Amino acid sequence: MPLSFQHILALLLWTVSSVAVQNIKVQGADYVNNVTTDRFQIIGVAYQPGGSAGFIAGSGIDPLSNGTLCLRDAALMQRLGINTIRVYNLDPSLNHDLCASIFNAVGIYMLLDVNSPLPNESLNPGDLTSSYNSAYLNRIFAVVEAFKNFPNTLGFFSGNEVMQQPGTEGNVPPYLRAVTRDLKNYIAKHSPRNIPVGYSAADVREILADSFAYLSCVIDGSTLDLSRIDFFGLNSYSWCGGDATFHSAGYDILVQMFANTTIPVFFSEYGCNEVRPRSFNEVQALYGPDMTGVMSGGIVYEYVQEESNNYGLVDVYDNGTAAIRVDYDTLQKQYNKLNIKQLQSGNSSATSLKSPRCSGGLITQASFSKSFKIPPPPSGAQTLIDNGIENPNTGKLVPVQETTVKAAVYGSNGGLIKDLAIAPLPDNQSNAPNGQDTSGATSPSSSPPSGTSTEGKPKSTGGAGHLDINLLLASLTLIIFSLREALS
């Protein structure tokens, strides 16, 4: 019996809302697609519009709360070739469903920090015993609740640069393992799947190897040790300028340092800007044969240009418009040189590695903790872990019904980017560089962006909107089989 237009439309909506990336799991030293078993290399960008200063408690805004802005940025990231975003500061009480679903639809995963710069929302290295309390754990568990159901949640950072100076780390390492343990226990009890938990370290070479060794070993040799991190991120800015090399930037030292890693290691930030514009030559090294045997990619700092720095790839304005910077174009050209198929090739030896047993012999610096006695959960914490937090704001995938970016977005040449939209991907694909030249797809415009706006901030789409031709074309291949079955 022929299907009516309403049936076809309903089927199309069902298909788009159900499209989801495959989960990525940690297997030895690699990230691996849970279905295809392809290796997953992070090609990422830091995504924190406004920086830490832009995160204001009670404002009702965080980087993943406005669907209109996420749609614009996801479209630009998809063209850039990004497959991962890192988001630092999140309000777990807000609705993130549409933003997470948009990034999911275009094959972009999310690495999320559970802490924030607000009081009592992170460990205080100067007052560990007081800051490690049940109220703090309630906060970070709320972040888990908000993102545990999204298939594109790649992992959670339990800490970021908590140890920054040699000789000052004190008792921080055991507390970092305690927070990691608590997060993993909560995930095990309340998440529909295992979600990795890791740490993001400052590139302080004197304590870097010890930080990695301490956090990635297993206490008593037990594979059930939940205080061990699942991945290790490094914020590294040692490659500066077009004249830097694999050796002058010290990348060779990092490869040697992590050569025997048993968990994924990647740059959780990179992109030195001491020489501008940036050349991003390190991309070829990071994803080349000298490093891919050890490293799992990296995250460029950062997507949005902040007033206080020159790290941004894109300028964004209060009225929702945006403009690509030259750094975006340069990075896109570097990504377009990568051999994605080769990067996806698995390494059976890397996926079968086992973590070493914790011991003081792993630590080289006299000032670094050699104690693997991990603090027990604070008062009230075990109840939260066993029963879950009260009234969790649990996220879920929602239909992505709007694909076309309505706000004007300009290339680095000042021209208006034509036909900017997201293209939802089949559910077994993550995004990847595809040879696009975003600034080249522009038309002359007499209305270039400006630094001020009188139009106000755009409203979130809230999950509603019209179906446009881009959505129909992108989804057609996904519904052919279902239509055939329905018509038979």
Specify whether the CB–CB gap between 190 and 394 falls below 8 A.
Answer: no
Confidence check: pLDDT of 98 > 80: yes
Cβ neighbours around 432 below 10 Å, total = 19
Give me the percent of the chain exceeding a pLDDT of 90.
77
Q: Provide the pLDDT for residue 54.
A: 73
Confidence check: pLDDT of 297 > 90: yes
Confidence check: pLDDT of 445 > 80: no
Q: List the beta strands (DSSP E) in 115-274.
A: 153-160, 197-202, 231-236, 265-270
Instruction: Identify the weakest region by mean pLDDT among 12-16, 71-75, 84-88, 414-418.
Output: 12-16
Mean pLDDT of the chain: 88
pTM of the predicted model, to two decimals? 0.89
| Residue among 131, 123, 211 at smallest CA distance from 166 | 211
Confidence check: pLDDT of 72 > 50: yes
Q: Provide the pLDDT for residue 165.
A: 83
Q: Provide the pLDDT for residue 223.
A: 81
- In sequence order, the 6+-apart residues with CB closer than 8 A to the CB of 70 are 64, 98, 99, 102, 103
Q: Tell me the pLDDT tens digit for each residue of 224-237.
A: 899 999 999 999 99
What's phi and psi for 289, nearest 5 deg?
-65, -25
Confidence check: pLDDT of 189 > 60: yes
Give the separation between CA 204 and CA 139, rounded to whole angstroms. 29
In the structure, what pLDDT confidence band is assigned to residue 103 with cuts at 50, 70 and 90? very high
Instruction: Identify the weakest region by mean pLDDT among 321-325, 381-385, 439-443.
Output: 439-443
Q: Provide the pLDDT for residue 374.
A: 97
The catalytically annotated residue of 145, 169, 269, 302 is 269
Confidence check: pLDDT of 173 > 50: yes
Active site residue 161: yes
Q: Tell me the pLDDT tens digit for each residue of 374-413.
A: 999 999 999 999 999 999 999 999 999 999 999 999 999 9
In the structure, what pLDDT confidence band is assigned to residue 50 with cuts at 50, 70 and 90? confident
Give me the percent of the chain exceeding a pLDDT of 70.
86
| Residue among 316, 328, 306 at smallest CA distance from 408 | 316
DSSP 3-state of 24: strand
Q: Provide the pLDDT for residue 449.
A: 56
Q: Provide the pLDDT for residue 19.
A: 65
| Residue among 310, 163, 292 at smallest CA distance from 237 | 310
Active site residue 302: no
Q: Tell me the pLDDT tens digit for each residue of 461-480.
A: 333 333 344 444 444 434 43
Work out the average pLDDT over 125-146. Answer: 97
Confidence check: pLDDT of 53 > 80: no
Q: Mean pLDDT highest for which of 82-86, 367-371, 468-472?
A: 82-86
Indicate the burial class of 252 (C-beta count within 10 angstroms; 0-12, 13-18, 19 or more). Answer: middle
Confidence check: pLDDT of 1 > 50: no
Confidence check: pLDDT of 425 > 50: yes
Instruction: Report the Cα 215 to chain-centroid distance in Å.
Output: 21
Confidence check: pLDDT of 436 > 80: yes
Omega cis (within 30) before 378: no
Q: Provide the pLDDT for residue 477.
A: 39
Work out the average pLDDT over 337-363. Answer: 89
